[in-house]
Amino acid sequence: MGEETPQLLQPPPVGCNFTRLPFEILSKVFILSQSPEFCLINRYCYVVANHPKNQTAWLLHRHQGIAQHALRNSLLWGFCNLHLVHDLEHVVDLQRGIDESNGQGYRPPKQILGKRDRNDLTSTPKYLPASKRVRKAESPITEYSDSEDCATTSTNPPKFWTLFYGHCRLSRRFFNYTSTPAPIQRFITAMLRRGVPGDEPMGFPLVKSVQLENIRMTQYLLQYGANPDILDNAAIKLAVRRNDYQLTQLLLNHNAHPSPVALRCAIVSGNSKLAQLLLQYGAVPDMSTVRLLSTI
């Protein structure tokens, strides 16, 4: 008796591939995979991954169904928007109702940080955290004050959301614009009104906005409590080095410290108008600046 030859696996028919699966099945694959790179496969997978319901389910599955964890960490993703925030807030409401009925109190969940973020938090901050600073008594910018996007539709009391969002932070991607697009501007405004600190992590939003000379975003952050003196007066130093009179005046009007280093930069660059502005706001020249003036 001759030995039977093993049967070789037949190749799949032409045109049968992963992306030909129905939308519902691909949605389930995306949610269970927990991979943010699913959308890079092709355009169809991009559509699946960017569906609002799939994004909500993906975040919940990624955080073991804990809505507070999912909501807090959704703000670290560049795809986060107000629709997603509203959906997750609704799930938080439902879960909190169940927890309170079981006698469980509120415990603020930790925000998952990347390697770079963890390194930032290991250094000792030289300023008061935004959650412990007294916000200025200025009226907020009124452009979006009547918009429904800025108000939470949650049934939870405002104190809960103030405590919750006070420990959150926004993705760095939202501040990498010289002129912030209107949808992102509305999203950032809504989050700032909810209580998300305007200078976390480590002053990046304000300093980056000044670096890109984004005056509008800088104004928003300052009016919602961002510290203008964060990172050893980095914001006003950047504004002076760019010879931006309007941005420097905006920072000084929000009680930024007129740094002697900024004054020296203005004198070195020959910008007498900026130097005069800093002196009007109380800048005191140090000895190196005095020597520099004596040589001019």
Reported as a single tens digit per residue, the pLDDT across 4-25 is 555 555 665 555 577 788 899 9
Report if pTM > 0.75: no
Q: What is the pLDDT of residues 163-175, one digit of tens each?
A: 899 889 999 999 9
Whether 97 shows a pLDDT value over 50: the answer reads: yes
Q: Work out the number of other CB atoms within 10 angstroms of the CB of residue 95.
A: 15
What is the average pLDDT value for the chain, to the nearest integer?
A: 78
- The predicted pLDDT at position 127 comes to 37
Contacts 24+ apart (CB under 8 A), 47-56: 48/23, 50/79, 51/27, 52/83, 52/84, 52/87, 53/27, 53/87, 54/27, 54/30, 55/79, 55/84, 56/84, 56/87, 56/88, 56/91
Distances (CA, A) of 93 to 57, 83, 155: 16, 16, 7
- The predicted pLDDT at position 55 comes to 94
Q: How confident is the model at residue 119 (pLDDT cuts 50, 70, 90)?
A: very low
Q: What is the pLDDT of residues 224-268, one digit of tens each?
A: 989 999 998 999 999 999 999 999 999 999 999 998 899 888 888
- The predicted pLDDT at position 20 comes to 80
CA distance 265 to 237: 8
- The predicted pLDDT at position 40 comes to 87
- The predicted pLDDT at position 9 comes to 59
Average pLDDT, integer, range 56-81? 93
Q: Are 183 and 81 in contact (CB under 8 A)?
A: yes
Q: What is the pLDDT of residues 128-144, one digit of tens each?
A: 444 444 443 333 333 33
Average pLDDT, integer, range 101-119? 50
Residue of 75 and 269 predicted with greater confidence: 75
Q: How confident is the model at residue 271 (pLDDT cuts 50, 70, 90)?
A: confident
Question: pLDDT above 90 covers what percent of the chain?
Answer: 44
Residue of 119 and 200 predicted with greater confidence: 200
Ramachandran assignment for 200, one of left (phi > 0), alpha (psi -120 to 50 degrees), beta (any other): beta
CA distance 277 to 279: 5
